[in-house]
Chains A and B, each alone.
Chain A
């Protein structure tokens, strides 16, 4: 089955530690995205990547880092510089968009990160 997997489903970290969230897709999509979801605030874009070895900051990139070494993988690192990292993190992917058409974003099941 094609889709997006995120692991782990639940993650706990101590304050001051970096942690990496995994996102893998086998949909052969060029574009991948990371969102953060907080209660009452909808989804906010952290980083996105349109192609391998390239990525751009979203609206709330501070305290996060990403890499895109392979088409199917887009890991997100939450660093100790992120002031309030406890949230639900969602990864998504899509075929590459253009100015004529929109391409649906497919979402993974999410990772819930809790800082203790």
Chain B
């Protein structure tokens, strides 16, 4: 079955540092890939997505490139802010007879300090 593996946290960075959160996946065919963000006590928000190989998703300074050859979708940001502190989830989606379902990674907590 499908699975998503992402680096364990917490990841602690100083403000303006470079961020990378690794994500790899296992799936048959051509899934769509996503990064969701969860701020404390809230639901999930879609951060960015990519629907085919070599696509780059980007939003709010975050980027991720769909790499089929390495089955990866690593999240990057050049300069993090304290307000980026949250839990980040990598996920994939494939259409099955039962509709579009998301498979999530376990989440990576990011803490950004001044």
Q: Is the CB of B43 within 8 A of A97?
A: no
Across the two chains, which residue of chain B brings its CB closest to A100? Answer: B95
Known contacts A42-B107, A48-B99, A56-B98; A109/B43 CB under 8 A: yes
Q: Is the CB of B106 within 8 A of A103?
A: no
Q: Is the CB of B107 within 8 A of A98?
A: no
Known contacts A102-B32, A107-B45; A97/B105 CB under 8 A: no
Q: How large is the interface on B (under 10, 10 to 19, 20 to 34, 35 or more residues)?
A: 20 to 34
Known contacts A42-B105, A42-B106, A45-B101; A97/B95 CB under 8 A: yes
Contacts of B95 in A (CB 8 A): 97-99, 102
Best-buried of A6, A44, A110 by chain B (most CB within 10 Å): A110
A65 to chain B, nearest CB (A): 18
Contacts of A41 in B (CB 8 A): 106
B31 to chain A, nearest CB (A): 9
B28 to chain A, nearest CB (A): 14
B66 to chain A, nearest CB (A): 12
B29 to chain A, nearest CB (A): 10
B4 to chain A, nearest CB (A): 8
Q: Is the CB of A107 within 8 A of B101?
A: no
B 97-114 to A, binary, CB cutoff 8 A, 1 in contact else 0: 011111011110000000
Interface residues of A in 90-114 (CB under 8 A from B): 90, 92, 94, 96-99, 101-110
A 27-63 to B, binary, CB cutoff 8 A, 1 in contact else 0: 0000100000000111111001010000010100000
14 contacts between A and B (CB under 8 A): A6-B43, A42-B89, A45-B102, A48-B98, A48-B99, A58-B101, A92-B43, A92-B44, A97-B95, A106-B46, A107-B43, A109-B43, A110-B42, A110-B43
